[in-house]
Structure 1
């Protein structure tokens, strides 16, 4: 049996930046002395695409339920 569960998550630009900093590919130490530049440019880009300060992530979870005979 297969189920699809749609999910919409609201994010602020600051929440996206915070999430990125929590990952191994965008952790703060990786930016060295360019951390402020990254944050300014990322916030500018995200703000250009937000709607009243909110970005909506559209995702879905596909769940497959099965058992062996």
Structure 2
């Protein structure tokens, strides 16, 4: 079982209830995204973190070109 830490943040606002609603919406979005990833992995469509990191490292290497 993977353990996922959801970010905690503090926001100053005139309406604390609006902040609470936004926080709940963000947490719900993250929950759905995590569950979609789990479903994808179970179905064999997921990618290992090392593979993702390697792909992004390759893209970063192509983008950064010393002059």
- TM-score band, normalised by shorter chain: 0.3 to 0.5
Q: TM-score, normalised by structure 2?
A: 0.38
State the structure with bigger RCO (CA 8 A, min sep 6), 1 or 2. Answer: 1
Higher strand share: 1
Q: TM-score, normalised by structure 1?
A: 0.37
